[in-house]
Amino acid sequence: MFFNGLVEKTVLSMALCLVASSSASVFAQEVDLSSYKTAFRDKLIKAYKFSGQGKVHAAFKLESNGSITKLECTERGQSTANAESIKKLILSCQPFSPAPAKLSKKPYVWFFFNWKNDLYNVSGPYFEELYPDHIVRSIK
């Protein structure tokens, strides 16, 4: 009886260790993804001097080597000067670090830049297998 109880406790303990290890691994991957996205966004923010006012959508394909293709930047209802400045910004910041393995099948990236004078909000990066419909409409 003692031996069976010991085996059960050992098996249970091993199972809990596996679950904890798996959870830690998933958490580490999420931290890695979050850190990658933050570094990606920060690289753009540090390189851009926000002035005036603008609202620009930017969308592109991130290649496996960190280069960018299919870059589109648009600004609704205004001149294209802000969109062009964001486009130049993104191109000047490449190559980016290659995406973590979990994002390798989601190469389509988009951002939304919104600023007025020295106040700004950069939403993104968002990674997907294909652009969502609202992004397709906004970059046409």
**For every residue of the chain, which 3-state class applies, written as one string?**
CHHHHHHHHHHHHHHHHHHHHHHHHHHHHHHHHHHHHHHHHHHHHHHCCCCCEEEEEEEEEECCCCCEEEEEEECCCCCCHHHHHHHHHHHHHCCCCCCCHHHCCCCEEEEEEEEECCEEEEEEEEEECCCCHHHHHHCC
pLDDT the model gives residue 83? 92
The reported pTM is 0.73
- 8 A C-beta contact, residue 57 and residue 74: yes
CB atoms within 10 A of CB 117: 9
* pLDDT number for residue 19: 43
Mean pLDDT of 113-137: 89
Indicate the number of domains in the chain. Answer: 1
- Domain housing 124: 2-138
Q: Decide: 94 and 109 in contact? Cβ < 8 Å.
A: no
Q: What is the pLDDT of residues 64-108, one digit of tens each?
A: 899 999 999 999 766 688 999 999 999 999 999 888 888 889 999
CA gap 91, 71 in Å, rounded: 9
Q: Model confidence over 23-60: pLDDT tens digits?
A: 444 434 444 788 899 999 999 989 988 788 889 999 99
pLDDT bucket at 18, cuts 50 / 70 / 90: very low
Whole-angstrom distance, CA of residue 47 vs CA of residue 51? 13
